[in-house]
Chain A
Amino acid sequence: MKKTYIKYDVNRACQVILQEQLEELGIAYETQELGEVIIQKNVPMALFLTLRNNLQRYGIDVLNDQKGQLIQRIKNTIIEMVGRDKLPTSKISCYLAERLQMNYNYISAVFSEYTHSSIENYIILQKIERAKKLLLQELSLTEVSCLLSYSSVAHLSGQFKKVTGLSPSVFKKIINERKKNAHTN
């Protein structure tokens, strides 16, 4: 056995891998400075994800604001969903996957990676935010739990308490007292 030494240029290696992968997928590109590539046309999300996966095998991560944009789309879809008068009857994971035309596992992984929270927690947070608004509009707990598709008032109260540390009635009392003080001051 003979030990052989090799000398390599990491930058050059990455550059070549990147070019090969882009060409293999038929994506028109222009390389810029180190670590910068301009993709010339709009690349479909699926193709972009393939590129990203292929590159990850080499330890190359695509940093792209597309993720930031995706997070925003996920949030918007959730907010829109929670803001409706009736929540979708299908499972929320199926609903999001369908609306965003993407695999739910992928959506969920990106979301957790970038927001330090899970989609499930985000949905709960948004539902409780809506519940707060409805409670302050003098809707009863029964009405609120029905509008937000909770199975029972107890379920809503429990989730409210988990997110805020307060019961819905104590919450309402505090906010109303604040309003009263703001008027008298």
Chain B
Amino acid sequence: MEKAEKMHIALADDDLEDRELFRDAIEELGLDVELSLFSNGDELLDYLHDAHDKKRPHILFLDLNMLCSKYDDCLSEIRRHSKFKDLSIAIYSTSSAENDIHKTFVGGANIYIKKPNDFEVLKQSLHEVLKINWQFHTSGLDKSTFLFRI
């Protein structure tokens, strides 16, 4: 049954305050989810590589400027591996420049979220993102053309 599968969310953000806000927002949504937090891209990539298929998150929230010491950027590094092709990547950014958004989507992101300043708006946006991502996951929809901007 669809309810039985627990949603697994990961966030990589180097800003402690942003990580805490994100965690609070997810907690306040009251969803039954497993949340993994990472403070840098290397930690995140090690985790993704070590996790088995079933253990990998359903969705990964990534700060736009998240750097990995070993690679140019996290997004393209993750998208280089075909074993991560079903992992939804949501880029989380303060930029609303069309050029950034376009480049991010072309680079393999599924979701682009403009970091809101208001906590309630953040909660609402996260809820929307999780809902649509869960639909894609449980209905086996085509992730290669899954794009969502909020």
Contact = CB atoms under 8 A, between A and B. Distances in A.
Q: Do A and B bind each other?
A: yes
Interface of A: 65, 67-68, 71, 75, 114-117, 122, 125, 129, 132-133, 136, 163-166, 170-171, 173-175, 177-178, 181
A122 B131 CA distance: 11
B138 interface: yes
- Closest 5 CB pairs between A and B? A165-B149, A68-B1, A174-B105, A177-B106, A132-B145
Contacts of A67: 1
B35 interface: no
A173 to B, nearest CB: 8
B148 A165 contact: yes
B149 A114 contact: no
A171 B145 CA distance: 9
Given A122-B135, A164-B147, 20 more contacts: A68-B1, A68-B2, A75-B139, A114-B3, A115-B135, A115-B138, A116-B134, A117-B135, A122-B139, A129-B141, A133-B145, A164-B148, A164-B149, A165-B148, A165-B149, A171-B145, A171-B147, A174-B106, A175-B147, A181-B106
A177 B105 CA distance: 10
A71 B2 contact: yes
A105 B134 CA distance: 23
A171 B147 CA distance: 8
Nearest to A161: B149
13 contacts: A71-B2, A114-B1, A115-B135, A115-B138, A125-B132, A129-B141, A129-B145, A132-B142, A132-B145, A163-B132, A165-B147, A174-B105, A181-B106
Contacts, number: 55
A178 B108 contact: yes
Contacts of A136: 145
B150 interface: yes
Contact of A166 (B3, B135, B141, B149): B149
Contacts of A125: 132, 135, 139, 141
Contact of A165 (B102, B135, B150): B150
Contacts of A177: 106
A163 B132 CA distance: 9
Contacts of B145: 129, 132-133, 136, 171, 175
A32 to B, nearest CB: 20
A174 B1 contact: no
Contacts of B150: 165
A174 B102 contact: yes
B85 to A, nearest CB: 12
A178 B142 CA distance: 15
Nearest to B111: A165
A117 B141 CA distance: 15
Interface string B72-94: 00000000000000000000000
Contacts of A116: 131, 134
Given A68-B2, A114-B1, A129-B142, A166 B106 contact: no
